[in-house]
Amino acid sequence: MRKGNVYLLIFILALFGFALWSIVPLDRNIFGREGLRLGLDLKGGTYLVYQADVGDIEPGTEDEIMDGVQGVIGRRIDALGITESIVQVQKREEEYNIVIQLPGITDIEKAKEMVGLFTVLEFREQDAGGNWTAAQGTVNGEALTLTSRYFKDNTYATVDSYGKAYLIFEWNETGAQLSKQITTRLIGKQMAIYLGDEPLKGEDGRIIAPVVQSVIEDKGQIEGLSLVDAQELSRLLNAGRIDVPLGRWADKVFEPSVPLYERTVDATLGQDSIQKSIVAAVIGIVLLVIFMLVYYRLPGLVACLSLGIYGVLLLAIFKLVPITLTLPGVAGFVVSLGMAVDANVLIFERMKEELREGRSLAAAVEAGFNRAWPAIRDSNITTFIACIILIWLGGELGALMVRGFALTLLIGVALSMFTAITVTRTFLRLFIGSRTVTNLTAYGVTPRQIVRNTK
Amino acid sequence: MIDFIGKKRWFFFISWILVIIGIVSLVISQIQLGAPLQLGIDFTGGTSMILQFSSKVEQSQLREEMAKLGYEEARIQDAGENNFIIYTREISSDEARELTEKLGTELDSQVEIIDYYLVSGTVAGQTARNAIIAVIIAAVAMLLYIVWAFRRMPKPFRWGTCAVIALVHNVFIIAGIFSFLGWLAGVAIDALFITGLLAVVGYSINNTVVVFDRIRENVLRRIRTDFAETVNDSLTETLGRCLNTALTTIFVLLALFLFGGATIHYFVIVLLLGVIIGTYDSLCFSGQLLVVWEKRQWRELWPFTKRPA
């Protein structure tokens, strides 16, 4: 029995040491250990949700296409050097949503500009009146507009030996058929590229409208652009190769590029929230520790020790999984601290009762743990149920904050069952086994109470 | 020994008053605002922003300027430190920037949007529906779980039902308080309110389960023959634990309320209220309800009936 306790203690200390090692330092990356991941409400950043217009897509291929869209957006964001970004596809009945989180982004204009590119680029030709209209062709008897969705994703900009820039591109099968029909018709005329109702413009502010010089079938090139324009355009075309427009539905009308949700938090507000949360957590914990020490004495001290271990382990889990910490997540963490104490309170109250009935310390500790267990188990399961429903419906509830809270609370409560049972019990057993403190007053029971209750 | 069961008519009386006030408030809100609770942009669609002014600005001034710029319907909350939270109709981030520039010139202050949040009206209705579904699913799941956990008792369904009635009673009281705050002070509920409510549901059931667990144990030990006395013993025995757990949680929540950020202010209030009411319900309501059911003393529920001789 005692040997088992020593092994358990070694295990707990090793775990604690590892957790401590992995969380220090909290905010930086050292030796490949990532910093604590902060959500955009703590770090500043942008959160965007768009609906996809999958109306033009062949039924049955939606999942595959949305995966493609997710990949394209992800690569684009990575190319901008934004780390820790998250791009997710949510399927809800027949609707597809794209969720984009850009933590730490300070240049909101840039994020928005990038978002504008999630729509499909359209090629246009000039009609007799000089107005730009969609360049169309017919494939399998269907009139289609030539858009960026028919590009292969290998568009690139290059410079020849004379320093002239080219944009090299390739169409897919449908694109090649359309391109052939359109360029045959437009030889010697201009074509422009539109994003919604705005034409793409070059560095010099002029519309990019190359003249068609030959019939383009599967492969082609655009020349006469500056290198910067060519590179920019290749980036746009690769990104604009997204097969579905993103925006939102409003009364059965699709509004491209308008987000369903948008949240932007300034980094200074996030910093302020972090400071306030830390102050709040420290004050709360100090109050908690004082209360536990005054009311439960020695077991209270043990509970505070195991609460310390709990806090360190929880932070290590947040860091290693990693779990993004949001402001409601901090609230969940704080609430879970309160609940972590609950299990200990249950056990100690039981222990006191057993001591009052005249049992020995060792017997009281064992009985306290054994008899408090069903209540701890049953009561925590109800919290699990609430958290699981929140995590499940959290995404649908809209705000990403809901999930943050539920997840931290769930992990916190689960972990608290481990620390309250295993850690506190091991400590208490060792304390009692070593016979350093045998005075029952240290356990919050006066001898008078024992006499009264044992009669 | 405290006589929890003997005073049950008083406790039921208090609960009736709280629930009735809550329902009255919900009805008043329904008449005044068209919804039982002041709905936030998560449920209606719209924009909320936190504006940070470089110099001191009065809320009344800001309201006036907003009205002049065509935002009469905007709700404005003072978040302290020259920060204001503004809830208004859907406006894009560009429009929001224009608005703040105008406000800045009019009020002679540098304005920055430090938090911008837009929710489309199209999804907001769905969110409201999902929130209601979430609360109902939670209640049913808790009921099933408690029926299962107390399956060795003669009538497990009663235990589950009592716990869930207590839960609904808590939700009504908290919803009542927030609807009161809604039509009185313009406090709106958001997705975090629902989150807090569900957490509170979990917490109050957690408390009730601890008490019921003790009742179950005492029933199986057969120390007393009378069920009411067994329940009273159990309540007395769990009193220390219930109060201490509530206190420890209240300590940390209070710290969060007083020193934490303004954006989760009302969320923390929901949690605080939930802990207080959840503790009250597990000591003074759910066990008493179980006794009434077991003994079929239905008249005890209604505080104004004469006690049978």
pLDDT digits (tens, 9 = 90+) for A398-444: 556 677 788 888 898 889 888 888 888 888 888 777 766 667 777 76
pLDDT at A396 over 80: no
Chain B residue with Cα closest to A291: B248
Query: CATH number of B46-119: 3.40.50.12660, 3.30.70.3400, 3.40.50.1260, 3.20.20.70?
Result: 3.30.70.3400
B194, B131 Cβ separation under 8 angstroms? yes
Closest in B115, B145, B213 to A375, CB measured: B213
Mutation target to probe the A interface, by most A beta carbons within 10 A, among B256, B257, B269, B281 is B256
Share of chain A above pLDDT 90, in %: 0
Q: Which two tokens stand for residue A304?
A: 């505070």
* Predicted pLDDT of residue A24: 74
B79-124: pLDDT as tens digits? 888 889 899 998 888 888 889 888 888 888 888 888 888 888 877 7
Residue extents of the structural domains in chain B: 8-37+123-301, 46-119
Distance CA B253, CA A336 (A): 11
- Furthest CA-CA distance within chain A: 111
pLDDT at B59 over 60: yes
Distance CA B35, CA B27 (A): 8
What pLDDT band is residue B170 in, cutting at 50, 70 and 90? very high
* Predicted pLDDT of residue A454: 44
- Is the sign of the CA dihedral B22, B26, B32, B37 positive or negative? positive
Q: In this predicted structure, which of A399-403, B54-58, B258-262 has the lowest mean pLDDT?
A: A399-403
A·B CB contacts under 8 A: 236
Q: In this predicted structure, which of A141-150, A342-351, A411-420, B48-57 has the lowest mean pLDDT?
A: A141-150
User: How large is the average pLDDT for residues A370-389?
Assistant: 84
Q: Rounded to a whole number, what is the distance in Å from the CA of A176 to chain B's nearest CA?
A: 38
* Predicted pLDDT of residue B112: 87
Share of chain A above pLDDT 70, in %: 83
Three-state SS for A89?
Answer: strand
Q: What is the CATH number of domain A2-39+266-454?
A: 1.20.1640.10
Q: Rounded to a whole number, what is the distance in Å from the CA of A372 to chain B's nearest CA?
A: 9
What pLDDT band is residue B309 in, cutting at 50, 70 and 90? very low
State whether A406 and B195 contact (CB < 8 Å): yes
pLDDT at B177 over 90: yes
What pLDDT band is residue A112 in, cutting at 50, 70 and 90? low
Closest in A279, A338, A374 to B213, CB measured: A374
Q: In this predicted structure, which of A249-263, A301-315, A366-380 has the lowest mean pLDDT?
A: A249-263
* Predicted pLDDT of residue A117: 56
What pLDDT band is residue A243 in, cutting at 50, 70 and 90? low
Return mean pLDDT, chain A: 78
User: How large is the average pLDDT for residues A24-52?
Assistant: 73
A43, A104 Cβ separation under 8 angstroms? yes
Chain A residue with Cα closest to B262: A273
What pLDDT band is residue B165 in, cutting at 50, 70 and 90? very high
Chain A residue with Cα closest to B268: A331
Q: Rounded to a whole number, what is the distance in Å from the CA of B104 to chain A's nearest CA?
A: 18
Closest in A248, A279, A380 to B120, CB measured: A248
Distance CA B301, CA B288 (A): 10
User: How large is the average pLDDT for residues B250-274?
Assistant: 88
A3-36: pLDDT as tens digits? 777 888 888 888 888 888 877 766 555 555 566 7
* Predicted pLDDT of residue A455: 39
State whether A265 and B237 contact (CB < 8 Å): no
* Predicted pLDDT of residue A399: 53
* Residue whose C-alpha is closest to residue B118's, from A105, A273, A248: A248
Which residues of chain B neighbour A272 with C-beta distances below 8 Å?
A: 261
Closest in A291, A327, A385 to B247, CB measured: A291
A124, A195 Cβ separation under 8 angstroms? no
* Predicted pLDDT of residue A42: 84
B277-286: pLDDT as tens digits? 999 999 999 9
**A155: exposed, middle or buried (Cβ count in 10 Å: 0-12, 13-18, 19+):** buried
E strands, A251-405, in order? 253-256, 261-265
* Predicted pLDDT of residue A201: 76
Measured between alpha carbons, how far is residue A88 from residues A51, A263, B218, B230 in Å?
A: 12, 16, 51, 54
pLDDT at B21 over 90: yes
Q: How many residues can be counted in chain A?
A: 455
ipTM over 0.90: no
Closest in A261, A338, A393 to B249, CB measured: A338
A286-334: pLDDT as tens digits? 998 999 898 888 888 888 888 889 988 988 888 888 788 888 888 888 8
Q: What is the CA radius of gyration of chain B?
A: 23
Which residues of chain B neighbour A328 with C-beta distances below 8 Å?
A: 192, 195, 264, 267
pLDDT at B270 over 90: yes
Is A225 or B86 the better-scoring residue by pLDDT? B86
Three-state SS for A116?
Answer: helix
Which residues of chain A neighbour B137 with C-beta distances below 8 Å?
A: 389, 393
Query: Per residue in A296-324, is it b (16+ CB within 10 Å) or e — as a string?
Result: bbbbbbbbbebbebbbbbbbbbbbeeebb
Q: Rounded to a whole number, what is the distance in Å from the CA of B210 to chain A's nearest CA?
A: 5
Which residues of chain B neighbour A412 with C-beta distances below 8 Å?
A: none
Q: What is the CATH number of domain A120-241?
A: 3.30.1360.200
Question: For residue A94, what is the DSSP state?
Answer: T
pLDDT at B6 over 60: yes
Which residues of chain B neighbour A349 with C-beta distances below 8 Å?
A: 238, 240-241, 244
Distance CA B309, CA B298 (A): 15
State whether B131 and A397 contact (CB < 8 Å): yes
pLDDT at A397 over 70: no
* Residue whose C-alpha is closest to residue A258's, from B91, B97, B124, B101: B91
Q: Rounded to a whole number, what is the distance in Å from the CA of A402 to chain B's nearest CA?
A: 6
Q: What is the CATH number of domain B8-37+123-301?
A: 1.20.1640.10
State whether A341 and B245 contact (CB < 8 Å): yes
Chain B residue with Cα closest to A290: B248
Which residues of chain B neighbour A108 with C-beta distances below 8 Å?
A: 93
State whether B115 and A266 contact (CB < 8 Å): yes
pTM for this prediction? 0.79
State whether B255 and A281 contact (CB < 8 Å): yes
Share of chain B above pLDDT 70, in %: 97
State whether B195 and A402 contact (CB < 8 Å): yes
A96, A48 Cβ separation under 8 angstroms? no
Q: Rounded to a whole number, what is the distance in Å from the CA of B159 to chain A's nearest CA?
A: 14
Query: Per residue in A356-395, is it b (16+ CB within 10 Å) or e — as a string?
Result: beebebeebbbbbbebbbbbbebbbbbbebbbebbbebbb
Q: Rounded to a whole number, what is the distance in Å from the CA of A311 to chain B's nearest CA?
A: 14
B172, B23 Cβ separation under 8 angstroms? yes
A28: CB partners within 8 A, 6+ apart: A35
State whether A393 and B119 contact (CB < 8 Å): no
A115-160: pLDDT as tens digits? 555 556 778 888 778 788 888 888 887 778 888 777 776 777 788 8
* Predicted pLDDT of residue A240: 57
Mutation target to probe the B interface, by most B beta carbons within 10 A, among A379, A391, A401, A416 is A379
Chain B residue with Cα closest to A391: B195
Closest in B206, B238, B241 to A383, CB measured: B206
Share of chain B above pLDDT 90, in %: 23
What pLDDT band is residue B162 in, cutting at 50, 70 and 90? very high
Three-state SS for A151?
Answer: strand
Closest in B117, B119, B213 to A378, CB measured: B213
